Amino acid sequence: MLTAESLGKIEIPLGERTFTLRARADRIEQLAGGSYAILDYKTGTVPTEKQVRIGISPQLTLEAAILRHGGFADIPADGSIADLVYVSLKGGQPAGDHKTIDFKDGNADLHAERALAKLQAVVERFEDETQPYLPLILSMWKNRYGTYDHLARVKEWSVGGDDEDEAGAAE
């Protein structure tokens, strides 16, 4: 079985409300043993195993979680994921290449469930209206400047510190 551009979704209960995780998988292949491979076509940089494993690039692991939970039509729940694959399309010679994510620990099924658990924790945290939306959560990007970073005014707010607050209070 082979599907392309497949729409999938699962619901995450949040008490009285529900969060719906939706995805469009570029390609899902059922392999000879009955397990599945999920492929994603990339024209840019392909995420590393570490980026996928720690959740910086969760696309394929979340698509795998949707598949495992019966979120893709015609694919039964509890399917096992054999491979998560990025297909890099650059043109030239060679025109493309594939990179299977070989996890250092565990397998694709385990990492699909981990990614879903992380997403569920984030969704539950933001269900609390007092939860702030913090900029620059991942320090690996603190030296990059994004299109909307000036709106967060992080530099203005981080110039002062505890000493400045105490000096202002003493006046």
Q: What is the pLDDT of residue 167?
A: 45
For residue 101 the two structure tokens come to 């994510």
- Kindly list the domain boundaries of the chain, sorted by start residue: 2-132
The more confident residue out of 102 and 151 is 102
Q: What is the pLDDT of residue 166?
A: 45
Q: What is the pLDDT of residue 72?
A: 96
Q: pLDDT band for position 92 (50/70/90)?
A: confident
CA 48, 30, 108 angle in degrees (round to 5)? 35
- Amino acid, res. 49: E
Q: What is the DSSP string of 8-71?
A: EEEEEEETTEEEEEEEEEEEEEE-TTS-EEEEEEESSPPPPHHHHHHTSS-HHHHHHHHHHTT-
pLDDT single digits (tens) 154-165: 556 555 545 444
pTM, whole model, 2 decimals? 0.78
β-pairing, 96-100 with 2-14? unpaired
DSSP helix/strand/coil, 77: coil
Is a pLDDT exceeding 80 seen at residue 149?
no
Tell me which of 17-21, 27-31, 43-47, 83-87 is least confident. 43-47
Is a pLDDT exceeding 50 seen at residue 125?
yes
